[in-house]
Structure 1
Amino acid sequence: MSVTPKASQSSWPIPPEGGWTADDLDRLPNLPPHTELIDGSLVFVSPQTLFHARAVDFFNWQLQSLAPEEFEVIREFTIDIDRQNRPEPDVVVVRADVVEDPYQTRFPAESVVLAIEVVSEDSVSRDRETKPMKYARAKIPYYWRVENERGRAAVHAFELEPTTGRYTSVGIFRERMKVDAPFPADLDLTGIRVRREKSE
């Protein structure tokens, strides 16, 4: 007697009508690390490249060393924009008064002064289009997008224009990034590249 194999049950969570909410991100079991919520949909990230990891480390440590006491610098932490959007910037600078509970899993968007995204192959449209639009709508004053240009960093820096509610470019930085906001920083971007480059 032949036995018909049972159809395998998907282990992926099935979204409710209307999509997932920001609160669901804390309740859903067994989500992959760094899962984000964009427009009510769960977004899973691909494995990090070496450039991505080094860029995130660089901005996390450099900005921690430069940030005034009223700010905290945190890597890979979600922020609440609205009920259906809870993205996770690669590095975020927030007001220190919201960093108080060791068990908290997110920050309110209104506490964020700078969001940094390091672009990966699978996040190009999100980092260049979707997330800046949502960060601007949430009135996050500064947004930096870090691009990989043949193994070296190019930082596209943006500032929120209050009259339009959109970001305006304040510069593209390679090798050195010197800015006054959200606090003074003079960064040697060459520290992000691979230390030992292949000989030609």
Structure 2
Amino acid sequence: MTDIRAAFDHWPSPPPRGWAADDLDHLPAEGPGGEPGFFEHVELIDGALVFTAPQTRFHERVVFGLRVVLNAQVPEDLAAVTQMDVKLGHRMRPCPDVLVVDAAAVEDDERTFYVPTEVRLAVEVVSPESEDRDRKTKPSRYAEAGIAHFWRVENNGGSPVVYVYELDPATGVYALTGIHHDRLTIPVPFPIDIDLTALPR
């Protein structure tokens, strides 16, 4: 489809061919009813457009804090980014909360997504409206795509708890390698030491 606006003839149902990952690059600035910023926060999950709810302050500060501390510790060939999609397939384009990707890919300011081979770590900070996606759907899709490292961050009374997973190459699924409450110290995908009680705000 060359003109994505034609898809809105079928709104709110998907177009006859279904939504595709590349469609996200051609969504209009306004919604089908002229709503400004309608598509500002949208992901494609298994062919369905998913609109994310407004984020909480916990979510925002943890995402910001992790990006800052990860960028202070990554080797020169990697970089931590936020609000960037990962194209996992024709009908799968989630937007992880934090990504660690190849620095060469980050240098391209025209990019709107990365591919799994460029991703070293995907992080999801769980929100009440996205619990199932962050705990079940997205991790399984990241694993299927071969992303070797995944973190799930939960809110424990206002404090972040990080569940660290590593891809088991024999099974193709994530294995839990640790649950970190106050401090996160791990050797992969690069040496990381984070004081979770003092993330930058």
Residue 151 in structure 1 maps to residue 158 in structure 2: yes
Residue 138 in structure 1 maps to residue 145 in structure 2: yes
Residue 117 in structure 1 maps to residue 133 in structure 2: no
Residue 22 in structure 1 maps to residue 29 in structure 2: no
Q: Where do 5+ consecutive residues of structure 2 fail to align? A: 1-7, 30-37
Instruction: Figure out how many residues of one structure are paired with residues of the other and give that number.
Output: 186
TM, length-normalised to structure 1? 0.88
After TM superposition, give the deviation of residue 33 of structure 1 in Å. 2.1
Residue matched to 2:188: 181
- Mapping 1:90-101, distance limit 5 Å: 90-101=97-108
Q: Which amino acid aligns with 1:176?
A: R
Distance 1:29 1:168, change over 3 A: same
What secondary structure, in the 3-state scheme, does the structure 2 residue paired with 1:130 have? helix
- Mapping 1:30-109, distance limit 5 Å: 30=29, 31-109=38-116
CA distance in 2, matches of 1:34, 1:165: 30
After TM superposition, give the deviation of residue 192 of structure 1 in Å. 4.4
Deviation sequence 1:134-153 (CA, Å, 0-9, x none): 00000000000000011111
TM, length-normalised to structure 2? 0.87
Q: Which amino acid aligns with 1:16?
A: P
CA distance in 1, matches of 2:9, 2:199: 40
CA distance in 2, matches of 1:192, 1:13: 40
Overall identity of the aligned pairs, in %: 46
Residue matched to 2:173: 166
Deviation sequence 1:81-111 (CA, Å, 0-9, x none): 0000000000000112222321110111111
Deviation sequence 1:159-199 (CA, Å, 0-9, x none): 00000000000100001110111111111101249x9xxxx
- Native 8 Å contact 2:79 2:106 kept in 1: yes
CA RMSD in angstroms, aligned pairs only: 2.0
Which one has a larger percent helix, Structure 1 or Structure 2? 2
What secondary structure, in the 3-state scheme, does the structure 2 residue paired with 1:104 have? coil
- Native 8 Å contact 1:64 1:73 kept in 2: yes
After TM superposition, give the deviation of residue 10 of structure 1 in Å. 9.6
What secondary structure, in the 3-state scheme, does the structure 1 residue paired with 2:91 have? coil
After TM superposition, give the deviation of residue 39 of structure 1 in Å. 0.6
